[in-house]
Structure 1
């Protein structure tokens, strides 16, 4: 089990101070803490053995990997779910860790943007109830007609319920039948205001989708398997909030994207805390694309995924 998000600050402070050689005031600035808090964390790091090499290598291997990945990619924070024999099943552990991380990142008064998918819904399903004050949870993209429990509106509503927050759903489909209709709908005052409000959010929670024949967009009927294959040939590498992105994390210029009702990528990038949760090994290339497109600031992944990412960014074969 990885360190709790609150305890992770101790490890991050020790990493910056002892490994990078930053002064305490520089650590405080990097982590948005007071210098007194940094001094306290460093003392706890010494007391618990985090800064002892033998102890750290035994107990904090994944945490050291998380810090290295943060440094290599430039992410604000990484949490790693272990996959060793003594750990719980990552598919069961991942939503629990992600829910804990999410609730520690959420603050009273925040606007929070939520996407969709099984990963997000599983996080909502295990999320404990918390009474956040004046929180608004908004939907990142339009709705799907498919009767899945992980539809965008279901994910938004359930997370709002867990936070005792106001939930705001999109009353529009994810994808329209024509570009003209989509353009006109995006211009409607209610939809226009909802789309503009995404950039004012403080936190986003989402995963990244793949472009396989059984991907969410295909299963919900937004694209056929043949159309998705064509999109892959045209450069699509993943899916963010229902939209196709290329290998650099940019929006694919295609008819499908122009027919989507979803937050534009620049609005998503404007959100300070962009928490992405990825478990499946086959999401590696889509995740790389999302990271390159600056669509991730905080990340929850398995040990093997973290190792693959570090290898990619350090130039070794993934």
Structure 2
């Protein structure tokens, strides 16, 4: 029987505790969650009948695959959505799994940074409500004027609502018309303070964007398709928080990036837990670029994408 995405972490905890023989504190460290959460998941596993001699062959395959991705790419945690059953719908199953994982990483007293995009908003849309205390959810990049539900401010405020948290938006555009205007706006005290506070976050949620005509920066009017194609020809491989990166995960040296109001990458990488979610199969190259740049500590992806990542790593090592 296929594992429901929302139960994936319950299965992981049960597998590590009952099959691998880890103690509850060891399971907590491995999954980067609290010991109380481990106890809760183990009780749920017993009550729901998850704990059986035949504990989930689907989970085992995904568990082994996830561990291989962790080891290959140096990640703290990987969750793989198993592609089982007659129909696998990544746009449904991966956000559900990611929402469950995100809630296991979020805790009272945290400051949480949120990027933007369809994937992030899909996660927010299926996320259960959590009664956390003293949590602030902050926007990691400037805003866009396009009327899409996955605008940066919309993503931030919806997740804040789900967490019973205070939301803090960026009251600045994502892209300015000139480098001079961008520099001046970054020097404004309110914006400067908000950008400087990114490194104080405890947790970040984001995805990586593609560099083509389907990119969010094109659909939301920040760039034209021709401009994106030109940057791709110059080496752009992905988009992180509205900024173009090359295949090594470094900030692309281009006029567009110099006009963007977004989190400094050094500050971004300073966040202890950085959860990246990828659902589209077309994002292999952007995903590889983001991993090369060490943007993620935690990753949620599909089984086929995990297998492709490992195949690429094996080819590179050959």
TM-score by length of 1: 0.87
**Gap change, CA 1:98 and 1:180, over 3 Å in 2:** same
Q: Which of 9, 16, 28 is the equivalent residue of 1:5?
A: 9
Q: In the alignment, which residue of structure 2 is the partner of 1:302? A: 302
Q: In the alignment, which residue of structure 1 is the partner of 2:182? A: 182
Gaps of at least 5 residues in structure 2 are none
Dislocated runs of 4+, deviation >6 Å: 23-26
CA shift at 1:163, angstroms? 0.5
Secondary structure, in 3 states, of the residue corresponding to 2:315? coil
1:277-315 CA distance string (max 9 Å, x none): 101111110000000100011111011000011112223
Work out the CA distance in 1 between the residues paired with 2:170 and 2:236. Answer: 25
Work out the CA distance in 1 between the residues paired with 2:11 and 2:60. Answer: 12
Work out the CA distance in 1 between the residues paired with 2:123 and 2:59. Answer: 26
Q: In the alignment, which residue of structure 2 is the partner of 1:77? A: 77
1:116-142 CA distance string (max 9 Å, x none): 111111111111111110000000000
Structure 1 residue 139 and structure 2 residue 150: aligned? no
Note if contact 2:244-2:252 (Cα within 8 Å) is conserved in structure 1.
yes
Number of residue pairs matched? Answer: 303
Work out the CA distance in 2 between the residues paired with 1:76 and 1:104. Answer: 14
CA shift at 1:68, angstroms? 1.2
| Counterparts of residues 1-318 of structure 1 (less than 5 Å) | 1=3, 4-12=8-16, 31=30, 48=51, 57=57, 59-86=59-86, 88-315=88-315
CA shift at 1:85, angstroms? 2.9
**Gap change, CA 1:127 and 1:30, over 3 Å in 2:** closer
Work out the CA distance in 2 between the residues paired with 1:314 and 1:161. Answer: 42
CA shift at 1:8, angstroms? 2.0
CA shift at 1:56, angstroms? 6.5
Work out the CA distance in 2 between the residues paired with 1:222 and 1:269. Answer: 24
**Gap change, CA 1:58 and 1:227, over 3 Å in 2:** closer
Work out the CA distance in 1 between the residues paired with 2:296 and 2:9. Answer: 17
